[in-house]
Amino acid sequence: MNPRGASLSVVDTQSAFEVAGVTMLADLSGTLFWEEQRLLVVSDLHLEKGSSFAMRGVLLPPYDTAATLGRLAAVVARLDPRMVIALGDSFHDRRAHQRLSAQDRDAIAALQARREWIWISGNHDPALPSTLGGMVATEVAIGRIRFRHEPTGAIGEIAGHLHPKARVSTRGRAVERRCFASDGERAVMPAFGAYAGGLSIRDEAFAKLFGTATFTAHLLGDTRLHTIAASRCY
Amino acid sequence: MSGISCRNAPTRKLSGRAPSPVPPLAQPAASTEAEALLPVRFQKWFAARGWSPREHQLALLAKARENRSALLIAPTGAGKTLAGFLPTLVELSAVPHLPLKGGGRHPKGGGWGAATGTEQAADPHPNPPPFRGRENDQLASGEGASSSAVRSDHARSNLISTGRSVKRTGGLHTLYISPLKALAVDIARNLEAPVAEMGLPIKIETRTGDTPVSRRQRQRRYPPDILLTTPEQLALLLSSDDAPFLFSSLKRIVLDELHALVTSKRGDLLSLGLARLWRLAPEMRAIGLSATVAEPEQLARFLVPQQPAAQIAADVVIAGGAAPPIVEMLDTRERLPWAGHTARHALGEIYELIRQNKTTLVFVNTRSQAEMLFQDLWRMNDDGLAIALHHGSLDVAQRRKVEDAMAAGRLRGVVCTSSLDLGVDWGDVDLVINIGAPKGSSRLMQRIGRANHRFDEASRAVLVPANRFEVLECRVAIDAIAENAQDTPPLRSGALDVLAQHVLGCACGEPFLADELYEEVLTSAPYAALTRADFDDIVDFVATGGYALKTYERFARIKQDKQGRWRVANPRVRQSYRLNVGTIVEETMLKVRLVRSRAGGTGSTGALGRGGRVLGEIEEVFIEGLVPGDTFVFGGEVVRYEALVEDHVYVSRANDRDAKVPSYMGGKFPLSTYLAERVRKLLDDRRAWNALPDQVHEWLSLQKDFSRVPAVRELLVETFPRGNKHYLVCYPFEGRLAHQTLGMLLTRRMERARTRPLGFIANEYAVAIWGLGDLSFMIRHGQLDLNALFNPDMLGDDLEAWLAESALMKRTFRNCAIISGLIARRHTGEEKSRRQVLFSTDLVYDVLRKHQADHVLLRAARADAATGLLDLRRLGDMLTRIQGRITHRELEHVSPLAVPVMLEIGRESVYGEASDELLAEAADELIKEAMS
């Protein structure tokens, strides 16, 4: 058994991959950075998922929104993007934004200060109000790149929705992590929300999307990203 | 207690003492006593079978008459079950000639006892009363409902109104609680015989998860006299608002296999149920039935309501007279292995023992050991002996088949795990073989007792150590048995997650006041020391989650009314409680199906034949570590993992002799503290080595000359180079779980001390850590201080840091979250399929830990970790013990004592923490593949 980090010499907190000829940086935080544009993309925040469950009697700790926004704030402070795109399902249900605490509202406002902010609507939050700050859109296109919530498989598309995760096994041990999935032409982002679960990249939804099982997973490790062929993951 | 050296699981036969050629000393006194305590009808029944009541059976009757609760400690074959039920049968046989009106059969206040004693002995029913009428017949119809053929007219005249437009007879008299539902059903069946033969007007029924809804409903309205059930069903009954109606008439509760129940959270749940029953039925007295335990008086506290600042215990009755067991260690002709757990070296000798005996139970510690041994035995079975396999993961139908064949005496041998530790009676087992480490003396004694169904005959057992360390463990276990030294764990202190479940259950029934419920909970022995602050935190948790951030008031699951009584907020909460009651959190299991192989194995199921025979179930955690094509042992053969589809694992037959992936997980129970202590003493006592096999003696002598044999309270630490790495091996003897935690924490500290550790391995006796830094040099030059390295302060910040990411801790948290009712294991509607898992408790753990580290659920998980998978308490005790007693030996190469743990490197699968290394390795393989 290897103690964590014992033999690490190189620290790769970002890993580059191409989408339709454009170089994107997958960040260890689970966000995507388009350096040239200073554009940060974050997907599936699922804010207020805790309180959404609480309404139905499952009293999950009510700290998920603060936890998610806290992590996002750290990324924003580090990369200082010009523009942020929240790639849909930013809120866990249609009324989730109404349940935001005052502090969390302030945190969102602070994130939006001095930069452009675009909320892309998703299936969980199809009708976002304008009171949240920033713009609301169903999709955004910049050059050949198209940002939308639900992937269609189009070339140049960066989407979320599927919450990809991958498991790697060796000699009876397994590690499972959230991951980016990409094949050079399109990519699916991992979910960022504190309570967001995952779907194995071996699910047929991914095979359909990429038209083949030969795509790549970029797993979010503890201290670095790992690029592994999807066919080796479960 | 003297005179008994064998303690074991109780028999399921209802029996008295068979005539013995040598009359027991107390015989004359006993028979007078019997006359005084037993009604004539019972005396005749015993006499007709050529039995006389055993002393402990009469003792329990005497306790009952004195209105005392009692704990009976008795070995297998002692007629323990009948002893437990005799007071009930005697009381119910003597329905007083009655009461003209009102009241039940059991007038309040008096209870049974001296007042009716004479009448009891005089037998009020010299002739069987007439058959009962149609109405009662219908009540007793239905499968599993057993009833004597007779019921007195009085019973019918006792129908009373309950104010709920329901009529009933005298009501429930006795509850019987068993840890196994099969046992409850079996006991009910066996009780029928004496009841029918004596013509007693007693209705007996069972209630388990399998009981149809219609009968459950009927049982609530028309309770039987005796109800046999499980702790979970009791909790369910108590959570209904008619619980006061159902239980107010209760006179007795019989708790079977109490020694086994009280060691787990099920025992906590049961204790809270008892507290409830004491309030609903103040007259109720308890009888506990138990195998021998280390501290009977402590266990006896479980049976009576505790009072503030006083330890109150039930009376303890100990059955005497069992013959001491004959236990030997296999003196193998073969070479004793240095490591491993298979005992393959002794296969021939094990087979020979099976051949020489009528029926042999072969116990092993883990499922995979059972699989492997069964397979090996089968391969060498030239005589075609009927040998079967039994473990908890096999298909239920498969297990029943084995059990039936065994009961019918058709099997010569059964390879089994703890799945046969408890439970129903098995034909004539004349030998028990225990393979591998005994782990604990009480556990071993209970297993050995399985070979003894005649109380006064000696059980025979052979211990087969699988490696040299296990020889030491077997030796001290045999000594402990000879001294009848018990090492059952002390009584638990009640878990907070179980309390949360109970509080919700209470709110589902009659609304409660917090003050009253707190008082009630304190009467239960495991919760006698519960603080009011913890209790209030739990109520708060049940209501709104117990979060510092008060945002869930409007989503509360339980609410207070104007009088301050707590009740469930809506029927959905009640429904969810009912679906999720219980404290057994099963690992997620997958069905294993055997299909025809498909070459390659790419993980897709395209060409796989679906369907296939179900071999049994396997832990999802295990399968997650496999890639298609890996082989492992299951169902007695080596199989190849083909694919996973939903919750089915598809495997094919592999022709390999050995499986590629070992699945030895070390078993559920670590070496007991008691046996560990004895092993250390044995090592320290040169003269005692003479009693060990030559090979072992020689091994220890070599160690003495080359390095050092650790003294009783000392920790020996050896350092040596090997290959291009440097090793540190220490010998705490505290069991695998504590050692794993120790290894994890030591590597963290060594990393900080810049010794550049690379990995570690732990077994039951030792921990080995390896790395790049020259440890011997560093210690010699004062760069690494062993006293500082092993300082108990590692249980501070280092532990905290590790717990943040420990997979074992997350698993512990998940169990607490489920038991406490934070998340549901079953939802209303159908069970969610695997893909629909809505959130992961690991994520919840991370968030909660960061934002409210002292949350009551995290405290509950921490308490579990202290004794459970992380064994922190034991580790803490050890670190304290060895302070200032560390002896370091700088060696040129590996020592004889270190060989076993060194051999396990790379052979054992150890629970790993998620690591970048594993991911990096997978990525590297990809690169290698691409370059080739």
Q: Where are the beta strands (DSSP E) in B21-130?
A: 70-73
Distance CA B72, CA B318 (A): 6
Among B645, B847, B856, B909, the residue to mutate for chain A (most A Cβ within 10 A):
B847
Contact flag B847-A64 (C-beta cutoff 8 Å): yes
DSSP states of chain A = -PPTTTT------EEEEEETTEEEEEETTS-EEEGGGTEEEE----BTHHHHHHHTT----TTHHHHHHHHHHHHHHHH--SEEEE-S--BSSTTGGGG--HHHHHHHHHHHTTSEEEEEP-SSSSS--GGGSSEEESEEEETTEEEESS----TTEEE-SS-EEEEEEETTEEEEEEEEEE-SS-EEPPP-STT---EETTSHHHHHHHSSS--EEEEE-SSSEEEEEGGG--
Tell whether B837 is within 8 A of chain A (Cβ): yes
Tell whether A53 is within 8 A of chain B (Cβ): yes
Q: Provide the pLDDT for residue B792.
A: 95
- Walk me through the domains of chain A, giving residue ranges and CATH numbers: 14-232 (3.60.21)
Distance CA B387, CA B381 (A): 9
Distance CA B1, CA A106 (A): 71
pTM of the model: 0.84
pLDDT band at A105 (very low <50, low <70, confident <90, very high): very high
Distance CA B514, CA A85 (A): 50
Please name the residue ranges forming H helices in B483-557. 496-508, 514-522, 532-544
Query: B150: phi > 0 → left, psi -120 to 50 → alpha, else beta; which?
Result: beta
Structure tokens at A114: 């001095």
Residues 6 or more apart whose Cβ sits within 8 Å of residue B856: B496, B500, B534, B537, B538, B540, B541, B546
**Chain A residue closest to B843 (CA)?**
A195
pLDDT band at A144 (very low <50, low <70, confident <90, very high): very high
Q: Provide the pLDDT for residue B881.
A: 93
Contact flag B644-A234 (C-beta cutoff 8 Å): yes
| Residues paired with B788 in a beta bridge | none
- Phi and psi at A177, nearest 5°, equal -140, 160
Contact flag A101-B661 (C-beta cutoff 8 Å): no
| Nearest-by-Cβ selection for B759 from A1, A51, A170 | A1
Q: Provide the pLDDT for residue B351.
A: 96
Residues 6 or more apart whose Cβ sits within 8 Å of residue B860: B495, B496, B497, B816, B820
Distance CA B841, CA B849 (A): 12
Report A:57-86 residues touching B (Cβ under 8 A): 57-64, 66-67
Neighbours of B569 (CB within 10 A): 17
> Nearest CA of chain B to the CA of A120: how many Å?
23
Mean pLDDT by 10-residue block, N- to C-terminus, for chain B (932 residues)? 32 50 39 82 92 91 96 82 94 62 33 30 35 32 38 41 46 93 84 92 91 90 94 95 92 95 95 97 96 93 92 91 85 85 89 94 86 88 92 79 84 87 70 91 86 72 93 95 90 95 96 97 97 98 95 94 95 92 80 76 49 78 75 76 82 75 58 92 94 93 95 95 92 90 89 85 90 94 96 91 82 93 70 52 93 96 87 93 96 93 63 53 61 50
Distance CA B618, CA A232 (A): 23
Q: How many CB pairs under 8 A join A and B?
A: 178
Amino acid at B302: F
> Nearest CA of chain B to the CA of A233: how many Å?
9
Contact flag B761-A232 (C-beta cutoff 8 Å): no
Contact flag B914-A227 (C-beta cutoff 8 Å): no
Tell whether A5 is within 8 A of chain B (Cβ): yes
Contact flag A61-B851 (C-beta cutoff 8 Å): yes
Q: Where are the beta strands (DSSP E) in B246-294?
A: 252-255, 285-290
Report B:550-589 residues touching A (Cβ under 8 A): 551-552, 555, 557, 572-573, 576
Tell whether B853 is within 8 A of chain A (Cβ): no
Structure tokens at B314: 């039930």
Tell whether B157 is within 8 A of chain A (Cβ): no
Give the burial class of A83: count Cβ atoms within 10 A of its Cβ; 0-12 exposed, 13-18 middle, 19 or more buried: middle
**Chain A residue closest to B837 (CA)?**
A197
